[in-house]
A and B are shown apart, each in its own frame.
Chain A
């Protein structure tokens, strides 16, 4: 009967991470003063299913922790507690904490529970602290009937108010219901006839109960019908169980999954007082059980003297005050801690964002959810492909030249099928960019708090789709850029007001498609880049010489150079000088580019351009001698035949092409790639003007061939990285052609130039 639950763990983790994400999203939308109950409900539901799943799969620590979180949410949901900004913060931190715990569990590590325990204390403090007015009404009867010491009552409040307001009885709890006092649980359990069909097996539940303490069971068989009318799949039995041991919570948990489809009553029978106390019953069974319960309860409440009630009440109130104080001190003591974590969050590799990215890239076997419509269209296309294939097969069996036209038609159809199939397979890998964008509201919220800036984040084009692998790799560079905009771009509220802008800065993330590329823009309305300071700094760092006259664009370009940082004080958030060049390199690795436009006083715009997918490239085939190379079509500006009049010779051997109003250096591809060309003469070949890293260069090739989509194959898989080559592909005739990495070629050229420059003075 035992099922290996571990096979479902992956699904559980995935769902839980999704749940956490939706909780986070919901929490960020919440405004304490004016919130939508539906948002709270969404958060609550997510928390509840995480708790349920964790319980089922035996991740008790997760279940326990989520439980307190859920209790608070439930009170807010029910309106018995008002939502405060602190609560949102606390829950957000718990979401982070849960994520870490689950990540650890997924990696089969021992999760670090210190944060969780701290948070739990905070939760309990909140739960115990406020909502007094409500408690005052509900407590007297409770306290009187239970004669429990005040400590226990705190947690009872929660369930007391909860069971009044929510119908979901399974969530009620008595966390600290003690088993120390002698007594036992009396449980009446009558499952619905269909309980077995839903996969709930009473025997297993009893086995779980048995683990809590000594269990005696007494089956009620009076409902079992005659053998002839007995349905083998139905359950006709009911049980009276007595259990010595276990807490209310533990007992509740055993029945958690059947509570809606059974009659259940759980009573604590105190042996010392020889009176049994009904704690609470599940709502679904209330009517059925109330007859037997109510009588006894009302009778028993009368036995309690009025003096007892008052005494208990006083104790409770006193305890509440005490807890309130405690609550405050806890909150105070926690404030600096919160900030520390936020700052740390922003800086080091420990950031949740970085972790998240690591997470998403590390396990290769992560799954993606694909819409059924995409799968359906794929199946349709495979169907068509099969038809075409059989048609061609038939044609081939007895072929003569008369059928040539039909063969050509068939091949055309095959081509179309293949292309469609390819496109829809690619579409499967496409996800809306909101998956990446969704983590930024949190980042901006935390960072702006840490920096005392008021910032609004605007997300546009969230439904723009791009390849999953690209998406995974673009997250970190974007985090960097956004951090930079926050730290360097947006001014402090005072400065903004002084500059005549609104106090709140705006960062806009915009994504859209543009000719086979996806463009992501990060726009801030801050102070813009400080040209003079950048120039100054670049001179200090020796990146440029004093005499060089640079255009604005060239100056802005400098921020992408390695070892460049303008921040006078290296803040924790940014300014370690490794940022921007890493950003650019990461983006270039994806065959993309990044550029910046800035207007002083009005803000800066960083524009990232990325190919939609990493697997397929639109390529221009060019011939150099015998070899065929592929240039990425996106980087080609134009191709032209050379007129020698347009060629100027600069500084000896450097030829430049005068192209309208600019000068473009000429690069002979055969020299860089060491191949034998057909023509050495510029006039006889062709020039392909390409753009990379914001500079144009003319590549000299022998001939232009076809333009086609090529499937990118890795050279590194079996060989190694080759400078100037980004990959390989297989042409229609089975030959391998290499894809030229234009910025890589430029790098080689620059290195050679640098070498020459370094060599020259020595020679002199």
Chain B
């Protein structure tokens, strides 16, 4: 399957294998939850989404990077909140009524972690087949694109499907420029 060819991490592959095998829907179709950030639409695998919550103040963690907004109490579990805008180096916006936190389960080397990401707004859920997805453009060795699972064209809009397992484990984050180039080159 092309989507598997896309993902570089072995752990991700096996996870998808399992999910494909378990899913009652057509093996080639995956569902993605999409959200907006800086007027760009991004998608994450819906199976990794634990819940969607409104923004509420979090307890800041001392000496942490600015994109870590702090930790919050999710029914007794301490969950770190990451502002994806800041993570991507986008301009910061004030949190408003539609600002939401998507709580995700992220696979890491040390096991699953629960992490919340702050996004501008939640958009939709799309079912996408692997044929509908396109590979991210090759931007040379300098630019790491492994955090992108693929790009999809939905009703004329470009959706960037994120591979969150890779994304939230990355040490270096792509900046807005790179994201723009990726989108531009795909179109």
* Chain A interface (Cβ < 8 Å from any Cβ of B): 627, 672-675, 713-715, 717-719, 722-725, 728, 730, 734-738
Give the chain A neighbours of B79 by CB distance below 8 A. 718
Q: Which of A672, A714, A723, A737 contacts B59, CB < 8 Å?
A: A737
Beyond A715-B71, A718-B114, A718-B115, is A627–B59 a contact (Cβ under 8 Å)?
A: yes
Known contacts: A713-B77, A715-B78. The answer to whether A722 contacts B59 by CB under 8 A is no
B66 to chain A, nearest CB (A): 11
> Nearest-CB distance from A543 to chain B (Å)?
28
Does B140 belong to the interface (CB within 8 Å)? no
Chain B residue with Cβ nearest A673? B62
Picked from A627, A672, A715, A736, the residue with its CB within 8 Å of the CB of B73 is: A736
**Within the assembled complex, what's the spacing in Å between the Cα atoms of A673 and B70?**
13
**CB proximity of A617 to chain B, nearest CB, Å:** 15
Contacts of A719 in B (CB 8 A): 61, 68, 71, 78, 80, 113, 115
Contacts of A718 in B (CB 8 A): 77-80, 113-115
What is the number of residues of chain B that contact chain A, defined by CB distance less than 8 Å?
20
Q: Counting CB contacts under 8 A, is B58 at the interface?
A: yes
- Please, how many angstroms separate the alpha-carbon atoms of A737 and B80 in the complex? 13
Q: In the assembled complex, how far is the CB of residue B168 from the closest CB belonging to chain A, in whole angstroms?
A: 11
- Quick check: is B183 within 8 A (CB to CB) of the other chain? no
Residue in B63, B70, B73, B78 whose CB lies within 8 Å of A674: B63
**Chain B hits for A722, CB < 8 A:** 61-64
Is B72 an interface residue when CB atoms closer than 8 A count as contact?
yes
Residues of B near A724 (CB, < 8 A) are 62-63
CB pairs A–B below 8 angstroms (13 shown) = A713-B77, A715-B61, A715-B71, A719-B61, A719-B71, A719-B80, A725-B61, A728-B59, A728-B71, A736-B58, A736-B70, A736-B73, A738-B61
User: Which residues from 51 to 90 on chain B have a C-beta closer than 8 Å to any C-beta of chain A?
Assistant: 58-64, 68, 70-73, 76-80
**Residues of chain B contacted by A717 (CB below 8 angstroms):** 77-78, 113
Residue from the set B64, B73, B76, B114 with the largest chain A CB neighbour count within 10 Å: B73
Bound Cα distance A719, B73 (Å):
13
Complex CA distance for A97 and B61, rounded to whole angstroms: 50
- Report how far A514 CA is from B71 CA in the complex, Å: 35
Interface residues of B in 112-132 (CB under 8 A from A): 113-115
CB contacts under 8 Å to A, within B19-69, are: 58-64, 68
Minimum CB–CB distance from A751 to chain B (whole Å) comes to: 12
Residues of A within 8 A of B62 (CB): 672-675, 722, 724-725, 738
Q: By the criterion CB–CB under 8 Å, are A714 and B60 in contact?
A: no
Roughly how many angstroms separate A719 CA and B67 CA in the complex, as a whole number? 13
A-B CB contacts (within 8 Å), total count: 63
| Chain B residues with CB below 8 A from A675, complex form | 60, 62
Give chain B residues whose Cβ lies under 8 Å from the Cβ of A713. Answer: 76-78
Residue of A nearest to B82 (CB): A719
- A672 to B63 Cα, complex, angstroms: 8
Of A627, A673, A735, A736, which one neighbours B63 at CB under 8 angstroms? A673
Beyond A672-B62, A728-B71, A737-B59, 20 additional contacts (C-beta under 8 Å) are A713-B76, A714-B78, A715-B61, A715-B71, A718-B78, A718-B113, A718-B115, A719-B61, A719-B68, A719-B80, A722-B63, A724-B62, A724-B63, A728-B59, A735-B73, A736-B58, A736-B71, A736-B72, A738-B59, A738-B61
Q: How far is the CA of A718 from the CA of B113 in the complex (A)?
A: 5
Closest A residue, CB atoms, query B61: A722
Of B59, B76, B77, B113, the contact of A735 (CB 8 Å cutoff): B59
Shortest 5 CB-CB contacts between residues of A and residues of B = A673-B62, A719-B80, A736-B59, A718-B113, A728-B78
Minimum CB–CB distance for B23 against chain A, Å: 26
Chain B, Cβ-Cβ closest to A624? B62
Taken together as a complex, chains A and B put the C-alpha atoms of A734 and B77 apart, in Å, by: 11
Across the interface, name the chain B residue whose C-beta is closest to A719. B80
- The distance in angstroms between the C-alpha atoms of A722 and B64, with both chains bound, is 8
Residue ID in chain B nearest A715 by CB atoms: B78
- Nearest chain-B residue to A626 (Cβ)? B60
| A730 in contact with B73 (CB, 8 Å) | yes
Which of B58, B62, B115 counts the most A-chain CB atoms under 10 A from its CB? B62
Measured CB to CB, the closest approach of chain B to A715, in angstroms, equals 6
Residues in B with CB closer than 8 Å to A735 are 59, 73
**Bound CA span A722–B78, Å:** 14
- Bound complex: CA A717 to CA B70 (Å): 14
How many angstroms from the CA of A714 to the CA of B114 in the assembled complex? Answer: 13
With a cutoff of 8 Å between Cβ atoms, the chain B residues found around residue A627 in the complex are: 59-60
Q: CA–CA, A715 to B64, complex, Å?
A: 13
**Chain B: minimal CB distance from A461 (Å):** 36
* Contact B60 A734, beta carbon cutoff 8 Å: no
- Residues on A with C-beta less than 8 A from B77 are 713, 717-718
Contacts of B114 in A (CB 8 A): 718
Chain A residue at minimal CB-CB distance from B110: A716
Q: Which residues of A contact B70 (CB under 8 A)?
A: 736
* Complex Cα–Cα for A717 and B76 (A): 12
Task: List residues of chain A with CB within 8 A of the CB of B58.
Answer: 736
B78: chain A residues within 8 A (beta carbon) = 713-715, 717-719, 728, 730, 736
Cα distance, A588 to B124, chains bound together (Å): 49
Residues of chain A within 8 A of B76, CB atoms compared: 713, 730
Nearest CB of A to B153, in Å = 35
Cα A675 to Cα B80 in complex, Å, equals: 18
- Report Cα–Cα, A738/B63, bound state, in Å: 13
Residue of B nearest to A711 (CB): B76
**Which residues of A lie under 8 Å from residue B113 when comparing CB positions?**
717-719
Closest A residue to B77 by CB, please name it: A718
Bound form: Cα–Cα A738–B80 in Å = 13
Cα–Cα, bound, A627→B58 (Å): 10
A713 to B75 Cα, complex, angstroms: 12
Q: What residue of chain B has the Cβ atom nearest to residue A735's Cβ?
A: B59
Tell me the smallest distance from the CB of B67 to a CB of chain A, in Å: 13
Most buried by A among B72, B78, B79, B115: B78
Shortest B125–chain A CB gap in Å is: 25
Tell me, in angstroms, the Cα distance from A713 to B72 when the chains sit together.
Answer: 12
Q: Which chain B residue lies CB-closest to A669?
A: B62
Residue in A closest to B70 when the chains form the complex, CB atoms:
A736
Bound-state Cα–Cα, A453 to B35, Å:
73
